[in-house]
């Protein structure tokens, strides 16, 4: 990748790739976001409740605890990846 080439057209296509990778990352994160909250916490809750973790029924645990922990992991994963992307495609400071 020719990051040093500062010509207009190349930085345009660079930021295009940057945007596409960002969208892909968002898509992955939001899929997991959907699965743990709407999936495990609501739609599949009755089925998951047959399993237990300590004193919790699993579906109940996802609805009241697990989904929140997953949200946190997702955001920090996204921040980390985006910072790497930012550095890779950054053109000489903002």
Partner 1 sequence: MDLQTLTYIFVGFTFALYIGIAIWAKAESTKEFYVAGAHVHPLLNGMATAADWMSAASFISMAGLIAFSGYDASVYLMGWTGGYVLLAMLLAPYLRKYGKFTVPEFIGERFYSRTARIVAVVCLIFISFTYIAGQMRGVGIVFSRFLEVDIITGLIIGMAIVFVYAVLGGMKGITYTQVAQYCVLIFAYTVPAVFISLQLTGNPIPQLGFGSELINSGSTDQATSQSVYLLDKLDKVVMDLGFNAYTESNWSTTNLFFLTLALMAGTAGLPHVIVRFFTVKKVSDARRSAGYALFFIALLYTVAPAIGSMSRLNLIETINGPSSSSSSESEDSKKALETAGTSYESMPNWFKTWENSGLLAWVDHNKDGKVQYAKGKAIADKSPTFAEERGPLGQRIVTNPSKGEIAQGAPFANEVFVDKDIMVLANPEIAGLPAWVIALIAAGGIAAALSTAAGLLLVISSSISHDLLKMTFAPNITEKQELFYGRVAITVAIIIAGYLGANPPGWVAETVAMAFGLAASSLFPVILLGIFSKRVNRAGAISGMLSGLIFTFCYIIYFKGVFIEPFAANIEENWLFGITPQAIGGLGMMINFAVAISVSYFTEEPPKEVQDMVESLRHP
Query: Which residues contribute to the site for partner 1 (CB under 8 A)?
Result: 15, 18-19, 22, 26, 29-30, 33, 37-38, 41-43, 45-46, 49, 53-57, 60-61, 63-65, 67-69, 71-72, 74-76, 78-79, 82-83, 85-86, 89-91, 94
Cβ 10 to partner 1 shortest distance, Å: 13
Name the minimum Å distance from CB 31 to partner 1: 11
The span from the first CA to the last CA of the chain, in angstroms, equals: 21
Hey, what are 55's tokens? 């004193």
Cα–Cα dist 78/83, whole Å: 8
Q: What is the Cβ-side half-sphere exposure of residue 79, based on CA atoms within 13 angstroms?
A: 6
Determine the longest span between alpha carbons in the chain, in angstroms: 61
Closest approach, Cβ 87 to partner 1, in A, equals: 8
């Amino acid at each position: 990748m020719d990051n040093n080439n500062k010509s207009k057209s190349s930085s345009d296509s660079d930021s295009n790739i940057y945007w596409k990778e960002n969208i892909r990352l968002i898509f992955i994160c939001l899929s997991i976001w959907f699965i743990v909250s709407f999936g495990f916490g609501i739609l599949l809750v009755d089925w998951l409740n047959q399993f237990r973790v300590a004193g919790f029924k699993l579906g109940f645990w996802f609805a009241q605890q697990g989904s929140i922990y997953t949200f946190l992991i997702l955001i920090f994963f996204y921040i980390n990846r985006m910072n790497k992307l930012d550095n890779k495609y950054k053109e000489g400071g903002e």
